Structure 1
């Protein structure tokens, strides 16, 4: 049986940058609650993909302002770029995949996950990410990615980990896949132009690529685990100790946002247009992730095992229970 972590567990993600949070009133004491008339400016490091739509929707609906939070989102290429910013104090919270957070943990960086962000749909044909190839590519399956160049948004992270697992499960040699780093929004053009043989794309990139004739050869998140936790929102351990009230209010607002987005998917799609360039055709065809408020610990432990197998953590060993509970 799969073990789940309550959505009130603690998690955070950040982006490298100068310290200093900034607040309209009291950004460090935690005194500015929803009923005090004061608000706290909260910056969240995010990756501009459809997965974070609930945050934007929750801000629009007032789920954060009603709890005394003035929410601001700042984009980064991937979760690995966000962690240092959270630790430095540039961001109070961040969006990051579990592998990035476990990498931080094994390097002695004090972060904690606070609440789930998104989960795979479990659909191995059409998921929130897919490895896309050109329509006329000779690559027909995951195992045939061996010997070819595949773009991922961040090297030595969750992308190459799950792509390797998809290749491995399909009978191919994962060690022969050549990975290159590239931002999601650059991937459709790079694939069409022949700069890479394949690209592991999130949304809206993969829907844009499909509209240009590309096709998917594997959905590696779903292939790895049909209930895989893709990302959580996290913060620094320091913030959980110094401002537990802010963490609590942020967590509550995110939980309400996730629940609302799950029940109002058309509104979630529309919210994605505020931070990505999506036309009407792409918008209606987007594959959305699932947005439960609980983190699937068993799936995170699987990512930890795969990361160890691929040598991501060096001689260190991640402790998912300590990080995600």
Structure 2
């Protein structure tokens, strides 16, 4: 009988040890391989920095970051199960949600600085261009990374704010890294770029024409990290741990701008001049709901959304 009781006591101690860490907290799951769709722009620096700092691994997440051209392919990848999580601009997510896609934001992604001429996003023209204001873009061709998305919607808003007719604009889709070459060669009249490609263009002689995010809404929430409803239902703990890790990454990035500048060079090639001169965005943990209401309204006017997006269902 004593042997039985002793065995039971040992087993109880083992179970208690397995359930708790030395500080009494529950052990985090280990070895969860997670694929995340991202874009090679400054916006996603926090997730790269968070991976480097171990914010994900300490929560049992083995992070694999896969680069795509824009939010549209990432949304499709998450819906198809290619990625457990993704980073996409709010227009991509609203468009998918209004079409019935089962998606849910889990955290803020990136936000505008709110400073005209000093934002991480801008409409750019080459040096010596006859285009001197956003109003002069009427009838011109502008490069954006994907069509019918946040790029053309916010560029239209800059033109509208300057007194031009946004319906006359022509857009051409191309990857951010190729835009500066297309501008210099005259293939397009203007480009919409974000950092680090914005600083690369300026360093090569291009001129900032307008800050399209600032023209659209004060302190615009530009993008979100998101997942599918299936992932939320099947792996709620994983979603919780990923969300905690990305929020810690956002806060760390806000507090360590020089480390942000360094990490950008690990996933997209930049020189020291661009690295030092880049305009960093804001990475708040809070989502600016009022700014998203504005984007939703503009998207409806532009014909991007078939029906009004249900933001209460999309936002965390």
Q: Alignment partner for residue 111 of structure 1, among 82, 91, 103?
A: 103
RMSD: 1.2
CA distance in 2, matches of 1:296, 1:255: 15
**1:15 maps to what in 2?**
none
1:69-80 mapped onto 2 (5 Å cutoff): 69-80=61-72
8 Å CA contact 1:129–1:200 kept in 2: the answer is: yes
- Aligned-residue offset at 1:319: 1.1
8 Å CA contact 1:163–1:220 kept in 2: the answer is: yes
Structure 2: tracts of 5 or more residues without a match: 1-24
Q: Render the CA deviation track for 1:25-77: whole Å, top value 9, x for unaligned.
A: xxxxxxxx983572101111001100100111111111000000011110001
Q: Alignment partner for residue 181 of structure 2, among 189, 196, 210?
A: 189
TM-score, scaled to structure 1: 0.88
CA shift in 2, pair 1:308/1:55, >3 Å: same
| Residues 1:294 and 2:303 are matched in the alignment | no
**2:223 maps to what in 1?**
231
1:1-325 mapped onto 2 (5 Å cutoff): 35=27, 38-314=30-306, 316-325=307-316
8 Å CA contact 2:300–2:308 kept in 1: the answer is: yes
Local SS of the residue matching 2:267: coil
Runs of 4+ in 1 over 2 A off after TM superposition: 33-38
8 Å CA contact 2:28–2:59 kept in 1: the answer is: no
8 Å CA contact 1:34–1:68 kept in 2: the answer is: no
CA distance in 2, matches of 1:162, 1:139: 18
Q: How many residues align?
A: 292
Q: Render the CA deviation track for 1:126-184: whole Å, top value 9, x for unaligned.
A: 21111110111000111111111000001000000000011001100001111110110
Q: Render the CA deviation track for 1:84-115: whole Å, top value 9, x for unaligned.
A: 11011110000001110011011111000000
CA distance in 2, matches of 1:136, 1:47: 31
CA distance in 2, matches of 1:161, 1:312: 9
Local SS of the residue matching 1:273: helix
The answer to which structure has the higher helix fraction is: 2
- Aligned-residue offset at 1:321: 1.7
- Aligned-residue offset at 1:241: 1.2
